[in-house]
């Protein structure tokens, strides 16, 4: 039987030679339909909407097509335009409506507005190319193809407790000349370095913003040096649906979508998940003095949280706050994340200043924020990791109390603070460190340790090297007289501020970095490493390097050789975590024996076995994991004993007895020089004295019982 | 340099398209027409001789997908002697998975039907 071919979509209207038809209101944005392109845009207060078409790169529009009245349904303007050249078309909108800031409206029909659903954005194709500031339409929505061949790829769905996350910046990773890649600073460059990531042993990269942003936002010369300071990190979104063109070597061809997908596919092929750092708390439009790029001109009152006088609430510390719990905005966030998950196979998201996502339209914290609930229960995002930075710049601090709906994990800021202070030798922390090492059950009693993303360093604040090399921040290069950046760094310079030739200080610093790596990798929860910490990357004491497109941020690949010992330690410590399921439990310890091994799942020790000094003056803690309780009793592992001596002198630790026939073996001893500091997993050194181990001052010892 | 493209059908049914100049959106249709022609003649292989091709815009790369669809999954597409930047772009954007890349025309492989 032959089926007659249907022609449903055919032109019904014409305007200056363009053939048109009333569009489909959903999906929003531009989508290719048979013979044409469907444009759909929302505004609840605009009176007139015009589609503006450009030939790629042209300074002036090719055409302006007003949406006929009958093409609007509700508050959505939609139109199909036939016969467009997909390759060469850029589009935007003009919106007419009231300019009445006191009522929240800032319509300006002289501006051409970018589609908030733009899937690719042209106009800033190459990173750092100085823009033509007089352009009528600088960030240009373009059309994308959905023809990418993913072959057998899909989200990896690695259990979150098995992840070792590596937080990184796409450009920083390979922009340094020492990277040796063909296309430095790009997705393609990162892809060339996948073997390094794989060798390091991480199985998840968390990419700092890769959405289209404007590196020239608030760019200014450093008053002292004249060097250009930029919006380098990119925490200020221009387009939520579009990968940053300037991060793609093929951006000038408009192929950033393909290049980024190819990167994701290759990372997946190497067993590495991809988490995106998403910034839904504000946009690049700033406050009332900022540029009008998109939202402000489309529907200011809907998209932004406004004061009763019509000014912008500033919970983000950057000028404006996205009105995330307005139903329309909420849907945009949801659409956006679904798009990245479905179209780019992204494995998870880390939400910048996520506490904002739990505020209502007037900024008050909600007990049951609909956006967070919707994300947690979304069918398409069901296997994605959802990670909150559970605070904002407006003073809402929700570590331990972020509305989780059984899904959300958090950057555990309390882990960072406690471990930092413990490592530097502060008193009174043994009790808290005990909580942090076992996945913070005090914070996540019902959510389990996987709610805790454990980290000691991240892009905000000192690098690990700087944490042990500086007492104070040194942010002069940011051009704000060292006023910016956090002051509560919990850092210790080990006796000299900044770089030194003193071998004793340098040895202590290396040991402290190893102590940090060891604690992070034996903690229950999900460890996150900051890019370059494994080779002692320095920002010269700058703890807020957001504005530097230079060596302060770039990964110096020469450090791989220079700090080969530390790199080896990190590699083997990550390997140790992967080798031992006892370190990767989904649920909290029960402090009892539920498998009949004769040992509780976790037991606590001190210099005397079975006897912890929890007092304020103590800087010593040890614990043992029973291998028969690994993965909550579902896996078999060795017994693991970890002794943390953050006191300055060496101390003998009495060892708990193992089951008959088992012996303790030395795996890690950070007080020893490389390669005795760590043995490859499976190649531990048998211990002569099975009753005691001497743990050096400010050192970590890890034993494996087998 | 102006874009040029020509089609040659061998007696064994191998379609050879020689491309030179700059393949961008404005001329991509010429290339697609040749692919159409090759497909209509039931070519068993499609060989794209690219030594003289200096530039390939995204429209050109997309044409490879078009060729793949047009020829059917059973017909291998060979990209022969593509210049370095084009090869680079193919690799960075994942398009190399749709075709077989060759430095030089390897008759033994291509013509073994």
A219 contacts A128 by C-beta, under 8 angstroms? no
The answer on pLDDT for A3 being more than 80 is: no
- Average pLDDT over chain A, rounded to whole? 96
pLDDT digits (tens, 9 = 90+) for B12-71: 999 999 999 999 888 999 999 999 999 999 999 999 999 999 999 888 888 888 898 888
pLDDT at position A225 is 83
Q: Whole-angstrom Cα distance, residue A339 to residue A332?
A: 10
**Are B97 and A151 an interchain contact pair (Cβ–Cβ within 8 Å)?**
yes
**Between residues B25 and A250, which one has the greater pLDDT?**
A250
Q: Which residues on B lie below 8 Å from A253 (Cβ)?
A: 57-58, 61, 89
Best of A122, A170, A253, A257 to disrupt the B interface (most B CBs within 10 Å) is: A253
Q: Nearest CB to A188: which of B25, B58, B92?
A: B92
pLDDT digits (tens, 9 = 90+) for A340-399: 999 999 999 999 999 999 999 888 999 999 999 999 999 999 999 999 999 988 899 999
Q: How many residues does this entry show for chain A?
A: 706
Kindly report the nearest CA distance between residue A262 and chain B, in angstroms.
Answer: 5
Q: Output the DSSP codes for A558-601.
A: THHHHTHHHHHHHHHHHHHHHH-GGG--SS---SS-SSSSSS-S
- Domains, chain A: 13-142 (2.60.40.10), 160-581 (3.20.20.80), 592-705 (2.60.40.1180)
**Are B94 and A265 an interchain contact pair (Cβ–Cβ within 8 Å)?**
yes
pLDDT digits (tens, 9 = 90+) for A504-558: 999 999 999 999 999 999 999 999 999 999 999 999 999 999 999 999 999 999 9
pLDDT at position A9 is 86
The answer on pLDDT for A5 being more than 80 is: no
Q: Which of A437, A388, A380, A379 is nearest to A409 (CA)?
A: A388
**Are A258 and B95 an interchain contact pair (Cβ–Cβ within 8 Å)?**
yes
**In degrees, to the nearest 5, what angle opens at C-alpha A578 toward C-alphas A158 and A385?**
25
Of the candidate ranges A151-155, A217-221, A439-443, A540-544, the one whose mean pLDDT is the lowest: A217-221
**Are B93 and A87 an interchain contact pair (Cβ–Cβ within 8 Å)?**
no
Best of B86, B92, B95, B99 to disrupt the A interface (most A CBs within 10 Å) is: B92
**Are B62 and A85 an interchain contact pair (Cβ–Cβ within 8 Å)?**
no
pLDDT at position B25 is 85
CA-nearest residue to A89 within chain B is B25
Q: Kindly report the CATH number assigned to the domain that includes residue B9.
A: 3.30.750.24
pLDDT digits (tens, 9 = 90+) for A569-601: 999 999 999 999 999 999 999 999 999 999 999
The answer on pLDDT for A77 being more than 90 is: yes
- Average pLDDT, stretch A173-198? 98
**Are B59 and A255 an interchain contact pair (Cβ–Cβ within 8 Å)?**
no
How does strand A348-351 pair with strand A385-388? parallel
The answer on pLDDT for A97 being more than 80 is: yes
The answer on pLDDT for A1 being more than 70 is: no
A259 contacts A244 by C-beta, under 8 angstroms? no
Would you call the peptide bond into A675 cis, given omega within 30 degrees of 0 as the criterion?
yes
Provide long-range contacts, Cβ within 8 A and 24+ apart, for A361-367. Answer: A361/A305, A361/A323, A361/A325, A361/A326, A362/A305, A363/A305, A363/A313, A363/A315, A363/A321, A363/A394, A365/A396, A366/A325, A366/A403, A367/A403
Both tokens of A296, joined, read: 């402000």
Kindly report the nearest CA distance between residue A102 and chain B, in angstroms.
Answer: 46
What is the per-residue burial (b if ≥16 Cβ within 10 Å, else e) of A634-668? eeebbbbbbbbbbbeeebebbbbebeeeeebbbbb
The answer on pLDDT for A456 being more than 90 is: yes
Both tokens of A307, joined, read: 């004061």
CA-nearest residue to B84 within chain A is A182
How does strand A237-243 pair with strand A165-168? unpaired
Both tokens of A137, joined, read: 């339409």
What is the per-residue burial (b if ≥16 Cβ within 10 Å, else e) of B28-40? beebbebbeebbe
A243 contacts A256 by C-beta, under 8 angstroms? yes
pLDDT at position B92 is 94
Q: How many CB pairs lie under 8 A apart between chains A and B? A: 53
The answer on pLDDT for B113 being more than 80 is: no
Kindly report the nearest CA distance between residue A90 and chain B, in angstroms.
Answer: 14
Best of B23, B94, B96 to disrupt the A interface (most A CBs within 10 Å) is: B94
A415 contacts A440 by C-beta, under 8 angstroms? yes
A351 contacts A316 by C-beta, under 8 angstroms? no
Q: Whole-angstrom Cα distance, residue A171 to residue A211?
A: 13
Q: What DSSP designation does A284 have?
A: T
Handedness of CA B16, B20, B23, B26 (dihedral sign): negative
CA-nearest residue to B61 within chain A is A255
A654 contacts A691 by C-beta, under 8 angstroms? yes
Kindly report the nearest CA distance between residue B112 and chain A, in angstroms.
Answer: 26
The strand pairing partners of A455, in sequence order, are A528
Residues 6+ apart with CB under 8 A from A21: A9, A10, A11, A12, A13, A36, A79, A80, A82
Of the candidate ranges A10-19, A112-121, A374-383, B104-113, the one whose mean pLDDT is the lowest: B104-113
pLDDT at position B72 is 87
Compute CA A697 distance to the chain's CA centroid, rounded to the nearest angstrom: 35
Per the structure, how many domains does chain B have? 1
Q: Which residues on B lie below 8 Å from A149 (Cβ)?
A: 65, 94, 97-98
Tell me the ipTM for this assembly: 0.91
The answer on pLDDT for A455 being more than 80 is: yes
Q: How many residues does this entry show for chain B?
A: 113
CA–CA distance from A333 to each of A140, A266, A397 (Å)? 20, 27, 22
Q: Which residues on A lie below 8 Å from B97 (Cβ)?
A: 149, 151
pLDDT at position B11 is 93
Q: Which of A533, A633, A538 is nearest to A582 (CA)?
A: A633
The strand pairing partners of A642, in sequence order, are A623, A702
Handedness of CA A338, A344, A347, A348 (dihedral sign): negative
Both tokens of A118, joined, read: 């733009």
**Are B93 and A149 an interchain contact pair (Cβ–Cβ within 8 Å)?**
no
User: Where does A238-353 have alpha helices with state H?
Assistant: 256-269, 295-303, 327-344
Best of A55, A262, A264 to disrupt the B interface (most B CBs within 10 Å) is: A262
Range of the domain at B46: 4-110
Q: Which residues on A lie below 8 Å from B58 (Cβ)?
A: 87, 250, 253-255
Kindly report the nearest CA distance between residue B59 and chain A, in angstroms.
Answer: 6
- % residues pLDDT > 90 (chain A): 95
Q: Whole-angstrom Cα distance, residue A506 to residue A570?
A: 17
pLDDT at position A2 is 67
Q: Please state whether A555 falls in left (phi above 0), alpha (psi between -120 and 50) or beta.
A: beta
Residues 6+ apart with CB under 8 A from A453: A165, A387, A409, A410, A411, A412, A525, A526, A528
- Average pLDDT, stretch A657-678? 97
Residues 6+ apart with CB under 8 A from A442: A400, A435
The residue behind tokens 């290396």 is A510
Q: Whole-angstrom Cα distance, residue A134 to residue A565?
A: 52
A120 contacts A257 by C-beta, under 8 angstroms? yes
Both tokens of A361, joined, read: 């339209």
A97 contacts A43 by C-beta, under 8 angstroms? yes
Would you call the peptide bond into A27 cis, given omega within 30 degrees of 0 as the criterion?
yes
Compute CA A655 distance to the chain's CA centroid, rounded to the nearest angstrom: 40
Model confidence, pTM: 0.96
Q: Which residues on B lie below 8 Å from A191 (Cβ)?
A: 92
Q: Which residues on B lie below 8 Å from A148 (Cβ)?
A: 94
Q: Nearest CB to A149: which of B59, B92, B97?
A: B97
CA-nearest residue to B64 within chain A is A147
Query: 50-109 in B: which are within 8 Å (CB) of A?
Result: 57-59, 61-62, 65, 88-89, 92-95, 97-98
**Are B93 and A254 an interchain contact pair (Cβ–Cβ within 8 Å)?**
no
A72 contacts A87 by C-beta, under 8 angstroms? no
Which sequence positions of A are flagged as catalytic?
Answer: 352, 389
The answer on pLDDT for A178 being more than 90 is: yes
pLDDT digits (tens, 9 = 90+) for A309-334: 999 998 888 899 999 999 999 999 99
Kindly report the nearest CA distance between residue A186 and chain B, in angstroms.
Answer: 10
For B62, the 3-state DSSP assignment is helix
Residues 6+ apart with CB under 8 A from B29: none
Q: Which residues on B lie below 8 Å from A85 (Cβ)?
A: 25
The answer on pLDDT for A426 being more than 90 is: yes
Q: Nearest CB to B57: which of A85, A248, A253?
A: A253
Kindly report the nearest CA distance between residue A172 and chain B, in angstroms.
Answer: 19
Q: Which residues on A lie below 8 Å from B59 (Cβ)?
A: 87
A371 contacts A337 by C-beta, under 8 angstroms? no
Q: Nearest CB to A262: which of B28, B93, B98?
A: B93
**Are A148 and B97 an interchain contact pair (Cβ–Cβ within 8 Å)?**
no
Lateral strand order in the sheet of A48-55: A63-66, A48-55, A89-96, A140-142, A120-122
**Are B97 and A85 an interchain contact pair (Cβ–Cβ within 8 Å)?**
no
Both tokens of A368, joined, read: 């049951």
**Are A262 and B94 an interchain contact pair (Cβ–Cβ within 8 Å)?**
yes
The most distant pair of C-alpha atoms in chain B lies apart, rounded to whole Å, by 36
């Amino acid at each position: 039987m032959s089926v007659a071919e249907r022609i449903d979509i055919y032109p019904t209207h014409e305007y200056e030679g363009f053939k048109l038809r009333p569009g489909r209101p959903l999906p929003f944005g531009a989508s290719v339909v048979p013979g044409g392109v469907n444009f759909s845009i929302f505004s609840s207060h605009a009176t007139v909407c015009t589609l503006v078409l450009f030939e790629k790169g042209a300074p002036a529009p090719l055409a302006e097509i007003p949406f006929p009245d009958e093409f609007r349904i509700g508050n959505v303007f939609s139109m199909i335009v036939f016969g467009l050249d997909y390759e060469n078309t850029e589009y935007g909108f003009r919106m007419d409506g009231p300019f009445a800031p006191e009522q929240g409206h800032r319509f300006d029909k002289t501006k051409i507005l970018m589609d908030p659903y733009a899937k690719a954005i042209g106009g800033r194709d190459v990173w750092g190319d100085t823009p033509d500031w007089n352009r009528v339409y600088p960030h240009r929505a373009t059309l994308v193809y959905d023809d990418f061949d993913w072959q057998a790829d899909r989200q990896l769905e690695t259990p979150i407790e098995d992840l070792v996350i590596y937080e990184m910046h796409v450009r920083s990773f390979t922009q340094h000349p020492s990277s040796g890649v063909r296309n430095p600073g790009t997705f393609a460059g990162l892809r060339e370095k996948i073997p390094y990531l794989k060798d390091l042993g991480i199985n998840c990269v968390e990419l700092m913003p890769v959405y289209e942003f404007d590196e020239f936002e608030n760019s200014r010369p450093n008053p002292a040096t004249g060097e250009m300071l930029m919006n380098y990190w990119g925490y200020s979104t221009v387009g939520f649906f579009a990968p940053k063109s300037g991060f793609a070597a093929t951006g000038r061809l408009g192929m950033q979508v393909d290049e980024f997908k190819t990167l994701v596919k290759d990372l997946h092929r190497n067993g590495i998940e991809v988490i995106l750092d998403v910034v839904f708390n504000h946009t690049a439009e700033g406050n009332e003095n900022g540029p009008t790029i998109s939202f402000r001109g489309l529907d200011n009152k809907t998209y932004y949280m406004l004061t009763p006088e019509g000014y912008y609430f500033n919970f983000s510390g950057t000028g404006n706050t996205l009105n995330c719990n307005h139903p329309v905005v909420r849907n945009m966030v949801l659409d956006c994340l679904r798009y990245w998950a479905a179209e780019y196979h992204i494995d998870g998201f880390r939400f910048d200043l996520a506490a904002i996502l739990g505020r209502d339209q007037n900024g008050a914290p909600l007990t049951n924020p609909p956006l967070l609930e919707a994300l947690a229960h979304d069918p398409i995002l069901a296997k994605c990791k959802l990670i909150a930075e559970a605070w904002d710049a407006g003073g809402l601090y929700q570590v331990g109390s972020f509305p989780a709906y059984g899904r959300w994990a958090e950057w555990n800021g309390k882990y960072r603070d406690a471990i930092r202070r413990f490592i530097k030798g502060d008193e009174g922390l043994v009790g808290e460190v005990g909580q942090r090492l076992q996945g913070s059950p005090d914070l996540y009693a019902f959510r389990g340790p996987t709610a805790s993303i454990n980290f000691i360093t991240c892009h905000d604040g000192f690098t690990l090297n700087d944490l042990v090399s500086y007492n104070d921040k040194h942010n002069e290069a940011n051009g704000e007289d060292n006023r910016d950046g956090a002051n509560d760094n919990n850092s210790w310079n080990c006796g000299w501020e900044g770089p030194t030739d003193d071998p004793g200080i340098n040895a202590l610093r290396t040991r402290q970095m190893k102590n940090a790596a060891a604690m992070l990798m034996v903690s229950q929860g999900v460890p996150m490493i900051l890019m370059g910490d494994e080779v002692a990357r320095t920002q010269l004491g700058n703890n807020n390097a957001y504005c530097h497109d230079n060596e302060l941020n770039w990964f110096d690949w020469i450090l791989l050789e220079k700090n080969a010992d530390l790199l080896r330690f990190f590699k083997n410590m990550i390997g140790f975590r992967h080798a031992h399921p006892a370190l990767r439990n989904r649920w909290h310890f029960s402090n009892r024996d539920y498998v009949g091994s004769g040992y509780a799942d976790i037991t606590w020790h001190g210099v005397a076995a079975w006897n912890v000094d929890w007092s304020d003056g103590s800087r010593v803690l040890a614990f043992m994991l029973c291998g028969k309780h690994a993965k909550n009793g579902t896996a078999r592992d060795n017994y693991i004993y970890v002794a943390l001596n953050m006191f300055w002198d060496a101390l003998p630790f009495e060892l708990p007895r193992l089951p008959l026939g088992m012996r303790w073996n030395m795996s890690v001893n950070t007080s020893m020089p490389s390669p005795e500091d760590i043995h490859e997993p499976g190649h531990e050194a048998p211990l002569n004295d099975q009753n005691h181990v001497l743990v050096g001052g400010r050192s970590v010892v890890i034993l494996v019982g087998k | 340099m102006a874009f040029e493209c020509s089609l040659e059908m061998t007696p064994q049914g191998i379609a050879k398209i020689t491309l030179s100049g700059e393949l961008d959106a404005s001329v991509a249709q010429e290339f697609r027409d040749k692919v159409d022609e090759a497909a209509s003649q039931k070519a068993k292989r499609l060989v794209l001789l690219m030594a003289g091709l200096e530039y390939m815009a995204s429209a050109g790369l997309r044409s490879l997908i078009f060729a793949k669809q047009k020829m059917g999954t059973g017909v291998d597409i060979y990209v022969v002697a593509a210049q370095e930047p084009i090869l680079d772009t193919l690799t960075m954007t994942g398009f190399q998975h749709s075709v077989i890349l060759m430095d030089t025309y390897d008759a033994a492989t291509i013509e073994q039907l």
